[in-house]
A and B are shown apart, each in its own frame.
Chain A
Amino acid sequence: MFIHYVKILLRNLYKKKIYSFVNMTGLAIGIASFILIMLFVVDELGYDRHHSRADRIYRLCMVYDFGGVGENSASQPFPVAFTLKDEYPDMVQNIVRIFNFQSTRNFIEYGDLKFIEKRFFFADSTFFEIFDHEFIAGNAKTALDEPNSVVITESIAGKYFRDEDPLGKIIDFESGLHLKVTGIIKDVPEQSHFIFDFIGSMGSVKNMFRGRLPDTWVWNPCWTYLLLSEGASVEQLELQLPEFTEKFFFDAQKESITLYTQPLTDIHLRSKLDYEIQPNSNITYIGILIIIAVFILIIASINFMNLATATSGTRAREIGIRKVTGAYRSQLIGQFLGESLFLTLISMILAFILVEIVMPVFNGFTGKDLEINSLFTLPNFFLVLILWLVVGIFSGLYPAFFLSAFKPISVLRGMIGSEVRRGTGRKILVVFQFTVTIALLVGTLVIFSQLKYVGNTDLGFNKDNIVLLPVNRTAMADLEVYTSFKNELLQNPDILSVTAMDDIIGAAHNTHEFRPEGVPEDEWHFFPALVIRHDFVKTFEIEIVSGRDYSEDFKTDAANSVLINEAMVKHLGWRSNLDALGRKFRSLAGDERVIGVFKDFHATSLHEASGPFVLNIKERPIEIRYFIRYVAIKIGHGDPGKTLAFIRQKWNDFEDVRPFDYSFLDDELSGLYEDEKNLGMLSLVFTLIIMFIAALGLFGLASFMAEKRTKEISIRKVMGASIIHIFMLLSGEFVKLILIATFIAWPLSYFLIDEFFLNQFYQRVPLNVWIFIMSGLFALIIALIITSYRAITASHTNPAESLKYE
């Protein structure tokens, strides 16, 4: 019986080559896309799960909230970690702090080798007791025990030491700290929210701070991870945190601080806090991708159903005869489901080949290292098997029940059920396919227009032609060197302005303590602020709306003055910008006053609202050393290569150790939307694939319809119908379906894109009606091209022949 079924299946496939091709190609592409997306999704969902205690590791985070202004921080003050462990020894089995001097550019030397390293961290010796990292050399238990020791990864070992044995060798950190290599570990897996190349011991940090780690409960630069005791519940620990805050944080802060924990495995997809170690992904975007994957599969399956039922006429006789000769309906259902499973199997094999072929490209633009082999390991193989059964049965179920329901007497007399002729079910499926296609197209276009919007939005400052130099712990940290460097640079007519700041404007900032007029004497409020040097307002073309900018003419400015934005004026309830001028705005440096109010600018990515903000020049040498981390240079429209060469030359004049390193501000800012760019690219590619599959299905269907109506077309031609008439006749129906799909897709996509994508942004692109119109039109044009090809070939048939044949 089985061989018999295979035989008839293969002969049918061969006979209906176009449909077989459409069926299998569409399904293969659909399955391949599904597999690729799911490999990506599974990879994203698997972050940080390689740590054997991942389910018990939590990160301690904190919210500072001063009437809606403040921060939601991923990191903690130094003393928090071990105080917490001492306070709750039953619940907290272990704890570790990770610290990087708040700098992602560290200068490392070994012999003649000098590199700027971005992933250099320091951690407590408990680090390897909490996180699993495989040691190639050295001892995990003791590697971070001693001050001035460092554990490096395999790649770093190769980069610095080549054939030498790195153990015991000394590398220089920032030309001051000599660190002995005490361990080599395998490279940190890509699936980590925290990837490092170096981990120095916390004892080394202690040495840098002259023997004592900072004991302030205000400054919060330490990422703090705790290992929950076995059997302890994190909810219970959370219940203790208010009491802990009350007991240890100082009085003025207590009211405004909330500590909370975050499961390690949630960080990559669900955490978007201030001061993340590295940018995370977004679970919503993963959800969008899963939805796209499922829709691709459904749409490819729909092709299968549509073609199977549309071509059912040609198999009706077979069904009738089988029934007459005694086939039970269940046997026919079995036969058709079997066919569908068989075709799905072939498509899956094709899909695997496709995946293997496009994997390098896919990895290239997602930045992942996915492998198809992972599908054939045991748990995944079952999933693949389930995928086969689900797709095979889902695609085959409707045709199986539909075909097996044919009444033998009707089909044998050539009367196929009215359903086949009307094809209501098929029309619904086509509408569904195109609804999804158009909605996805709208979604993709919105993603891209939001990205464009983000790039073009007036941020309230000018980000163009700004060169950034990281200057942390370089010679520039000295005010005199900095001033000379600046003056030298300004000699070049193509350098328009030079300033400095503690964080990259538009990307990041810290919060600082202030006590504006009206706040009680014992309270500090933490406000987002940038610490800057002179000419900041000029360099970034920030608009002063009231008062004045800092000026070097007023020697007291640096110590006594701050600039605040309009949102701050509102936040503090001051009557007007003018009213704000001259008001007290105390900082840790002493009594300061507001000398100017500037127009609000976007201090962080457009995901978030811009709120109250302070610009403040610091004056004390230690502050300058710490807070001047970036020099920003506004260059003119001359040859940027020449200007950069000039800057490099000047840099080398003032800084003899640190190599020259620079970036452009607009590049840094566009990096804030990496996640959305990825999503946009993925959704573009897969939307095009969905369109292709849907178009393929339409092509098959249109071919079939044209074939089916050969006689009708011939009679019409005999009666005098023109080619245009025939074209309208055949394409008209599909046009109607696409229009219906368009009208369903519009409100649907409007709602979904708002709910799932634009809501991620505070600054959102206004939805342009053209996006909707274009999407519908595009689908319509594609449908017209496909159906018209068939319509035109059909309208050229010679009526004499087809009528004679009939």
Chain B
Amino acid sequence: MIKTVELTKIFRTDEVETTALNKVSFKIKQGEFVAIMGPSGCGKSTLLNILGLLDNPSEGRYYFLDTEVSSHSERQRAKLRKENIGFVFQNFNLIDELTVFENVELPLIYLRTPASERKRRVNEVLEQMQILHRKKHFPLQLSGGQQQRVAVARAVIAKPKLILADEPTGNLDSVHGEEVMAMLEALNQQGTTLVIVTHSQRDAEYSQRIVRLYDGQIITENIKESVK
């Protein structure tokens, strides 16, 4: 599903040049659950952004669903994104002015799904995430765990092939964190490919494979015993 070849990302400011990713090559198969770990500033989020088509690499190639996308335009990337990728963020990133229902509905709007279909699917997913009773609330009226469940609901609503999660439990206490991880695991078991960036060894344990980054390079790739 995903293949990167010597992916490099360099950030330039007036005086400093920072290599965030340095010739990263790896593959992710359909249905896999991969955790990316590493210390702060090692390039985890940069990698996730490129995988999520939010950013282009400076060098190297990126194959998404067997298509080379590293030089795609913003518009082409937006199209691939909305049809195939769901995102979950550490700080939830819900729109404060929209209700729970409207936040989750958003991707379907951009996919031009008819209103009745939208309503049915949003209700279904909210039910699945056990947050249906809060659908008319605004994000600021919810607890962190509830917000993240809404964010996960939004990420899966369009039935993406790939879900990218950036520190999904970083702002949650351990109980809520586990709840969210369990949810993500369930999605993976239903066939969705899952890539998470995390500091937490416990979260990483849910995955089938852990990729460790240091200074923009992959230092180890452990495939867990259970999967071998």
Do B97 and A325 touch (CB < 8 A)?
no
Contact (Cβ within 8 A) A324 B74: no
Interface string of A268-312 (1 = CB under 8 A from B): 000000000000000000000000000000000000000000000
Q: Which of B74, B79, B96, B97 has the most CB of A within 10 A?
A: B97
Instruction: Encode A1-34 as 1/0 by CB contact (under 8 A) with B.
Output: 1001001100110010000000000000000000
List chain B residues, Cβ under 8 A from A327: 78, 82, 110
Assess A323 versus B78: contact at CB under 8 Å? Given A8-B95, A317-B95: yes
Within 8 A of A (CB), among B126-168: 154, 158
Assembly CA distance A7 to B158 (angstroms): 22
Bound Cα distance A781, B94 (Å): 43
C-beta contact mask, B94-123 vs A, less than 8 Å → 1, else 0? 111110001001110111000000000000
Q: A741: shortest Cβ distance to chain B, in Å?
A: 30
Contact among A4, A318, A324 with B87 in the assembled complex (CB-CB below 8 Å): A324
Residue A589 at the B interface, CB < 8 A? Answer: no
| Nearest Cβ on chain B to A308's Cβ, whole angstroms | 15
Closest 6 CB pairs of A and B: A326-B82, A326-B110, A11-B97, A325-B107, A318-B95, A409-B54
**Interface assignment of B55: CB less than 8 Å from any CB of chain A:** yes
Q: Is there a chain A Cβ closer than 8 Å to B49's Cβ?
A: yes
- Contacting A325 at CB < 8 Å: which of B49, B79, B82, B91? B82
The residue from A4, A15, A323, A329 contacting B109, defined by CB atoms under 8 A apart = A4
Q: How near does chain B come to A407, taking the closest CB pair, in angstroms?
A: 8
| CB pair B81 A317 closer than 8 Å | no
Closest-CB distance, A141 to chain B (whole angstroms): 71
Confirm or deny: A516 has a beta carbon within 8 angstroms of a beta carbon on chain B.
no
Q: Tell me whether A320 and B93 are in contact (CB under 8 A).
A: yes
Q: Looking at the complex, which one of A11, A322, A324 makes contact with B54 (CB distance below 8 Å)?
A: A324
Instruction: Kindly state the separation between the CA atoms of A407 and B96 in the bound complex, as whole angstroms.
Output: 19
**Cβ of B89 < 8 Å from any Cβ of A?**
yes
The answer to whether A8 and B98 touch (CB under 8 A), given A324-B87, A325-B154, A409-B54, is yes
In the complex, whether A481 has a CB less than 8 A from a CB of chain B is: no
Query: Does the CB pair B54–A331 fall under 8 Å?
Result: no
Q: In the complex, how many angstroms separate the beta carbon of B129 from the nearest chain A beta carbon?
A: 17
> What is the 8 Å Cβ interface bit string for chain A, positions 316-355, against chain B (1 contact, 0 not)?
0110111111111101000000000000000000000000
Task: Give me the interface of A with B, judged by CB distance under 8 Å.
Answer: 1, 4, 7-8, 11-12, 15, 317-318, 320-329, 331, 407-409, 412-413
Nearest B residue (CB) for A319: B95
Interface residues of B (CB under 8 A from A): 45, 49, 52, 54-55, 74-75, 78-79, 81-83, 87, 89, 91, 93-98, 102, 105-107, 109-111, 154, 158
CB pair A326–B75 under 8 Å, yes or no, is: no
Residues of A within 8 Å of B55, CB to CB, are 407, 409
**Least distance between A412 CB and chain B CB atoms (Å):** 5
CA distance A329 to B77 in the complex (A): 11
The chain A residue with its CB closest to the CB of B138 is A11
A649 to chain B, nearest CB (A): 81
Q: How many Å from the CB of B159 to the closest CB on chain A?
A: 13
Given contacts A409-B55, A412-B93, contact A322 B75 (CB under 8 A): no
Nearest chain B residue, comparing its CB with the CB of A318: B95
CA gap between A318 and B96 in the complex, in Å:
8
Q: Chain A residues near B75 (CB, 8 Å)?
A: 328-329
Is B74 in contact with A329, judged by CB distance below 8 angstroms? yes
Closest B residue to A323 using CB positions:
B78
Contacts of A324 on B, CB cut-off 8 Å?
A: 52, 54, 81, 87, 93
Cα distance A323–B77 in the bound complex, in angstroms: 10
Residue from A8, A15, A326, A328 whose CB has the most chain B CB atoms within 10 Å: A326
A659 vs B154: C-alpha distance when bound (angstroms): 91
Given the known interface contacts A327-B110, A409-B49, the answer about A321 and B95 at a Cβ–Cβ threshold of 8 Å is yes
Measured in the bound complex, the distance between the Cα atoms of B55 and A8 in whole Å is: 27
Contact A7:B93 (CB < 8 A) given known A326-B78, A327-B78: no
Partner of A326, one of B49, B81, B89: B81
Given contacts A4-B109, A7-B98, A321-B106, 10 further A-B contacts (CB under 8 A): A317-B93, A317-B95, A318-B95, A321-B93, A324-B87, A326-B83, A329-B78, A331-B110, A409-B55, A412-B91
Assess whether B97 is in contact with A1, with CB atoms less than 8 Å apart: no
Min CB gap A130→B, angstroms:
65
Cβ-defined contact, A1 with B78, below 8 A = no
Bound form: Cα–Cα A1–B106 in Å: 9
State A331–B115 Cα separation when bound (angstroms).
18
Give complex CA distance A324, B107 in Å: 9
**Residue of chain B at shortest CB distance from A331:** B110
CB distance from A381 to the nearest CB of B (A): 34
6 CB < 8 A contacts A-B: A321-B93, A321-B95, A325-B87, A325-B110, A327-B110, A409-B45
**A407 vs B56: C-alpha distance when bound (angstroms):** 12
Select one of B74, B89, B91, B102 contacting A4, CB under 8 A.
B102
Name the residue on B nearest A5 (C-beta).
B109
Residues of B within 8 A of A409 (CB): 45, 49, 54-55
> By CB atoms of chain A within 10 A, which of B74, B78, B91, B106 has the most?
B78
Does the CB pair A326–B111 fall under 8 Å?
A: yes
A8 to B103, CA, bound (A): 11
For the complex, give the distance between the alpha carbons of A407 and B49 in Å: 11
- Expressed in whole angstroms, the Cα–Cα distance for A482 and B9 within the complex equals 105
Distance in Å from the Cβ of A8 to the closest Cβ of chain B?
5
Question: CB-CB < 8 A to A8: which residues of B?
Answer: 95, 97-98
Q: How far is the CA of A408 from the CA of B78 in the complex (A)?
A: 11
Tell me the complex Cα distance, A321–B54, Å: 11
Which residues of A sit under 8 angstroms from B98, Cβ to Cβ?
A: 7-8, 11
| Complex contact B78–A328 (CB within 8 A) | yes
* Nearest CB on A from B119, distance (A): 13
Chain B residues near A326: list those with CB within 8 A.
78-79, 81-83, 107, 110-111, 158
Specify the chain B residue showing the minimal Cβ separation from A327. B110
Residues of chain B within 8 A of A12, CB atoms compared: 97
Name which of A324, A407, A408 has the most chain B CB atoms within 10 A of its CB: A324
Per the bound structure, the CA–CA distance linking A415 and B72 in Å amounts to 24
Asked whether B74 lies within 8 Å of A1 as measured between CB atoms, the reply is no
Interface pair B106/A322, CB less than 8 Å apart: yes
Return the chain A residue nearest B107 by Cβ: A325
Taking the closest CB of chain A, its distance from the CB of B121, in whole angstroms, is 14
Known: A321-B93, A325-B110, A325-B154. A7 touches B102 (CB 8 A): yes
A801–chain B nearest beta-carbon distance, Å: 18
Say which residue of A328, A331, A412 sits within 8 Å of B89 (CB atoms).
A412
Tell me, in angstroms, the Cα distance from A612 to B75 when the chains sit together. 78
Also in contact, A325 and B106, with CB within 8 A (given A318-B95, A318-B97, A412-B93): yes
**Least CB distance, B65 to chain A, in whole angstroms:** 16
Q: Of all chain B residues, which has the CB nearest A12?
A: B97
A1, A321, A407, A413: residue with the most chain B Cβ atoms closer than 10 Å: A321
Closest chain-B Cβ to A697's Cβ sits at a distance in Å of 24
Min CB distance, A332 to chain B, in Å? Answer: 10
CA distance A318 to B111 in the complex (A): 17
Contacts of B52 in A (CB 8 A): 324
Alpha-carbon separation in the docked complex, A325 to B75 (Å): 13
A324 to B158, CA, bound (A): 13
B15 CB to nearest chain A CB (Å): 15
* A686 to B87 alpha-carbon distance, docked (Å): 52
Q: How far is the CB of A340 from chain B (nearest CB, A)?
A: 17
Q: How far is the CB of B47 from chain A (nearest CB, A)?
A: 12
Chain B residues with CB under 8 A of A413: 45
Q: How far is the CA of A11 from the CA of B140 in the complex (A)?
A: 14
Contacts of B74 in A (CB 8 A): 329
Give bound CA distance, A323 to B110, whole Å.
Answer: 10
A15 and B97 form a contact (CB under 8 A): yes
Question: A15 to chain B: which residues have CB within 8 Å?
Answer: 97
The CA of A1 and the CA of B107, in the complex, are separated in Å by 11
Instruction: Looking at the assembled complex, report how far the CB atom of B74 sits from the nearest CB atom of chain A, in whole angstroms.
Output: 6
CA distance A312 to B54 in the complex (A): 20
Q: List chain A residues, Cβ under 8 A from B110.
A: 322, 325-327, 331
Chain B positions within 8 Å of A407 at CB level: 54-55
CB of A11 to closest CB in B, whole Å: 4
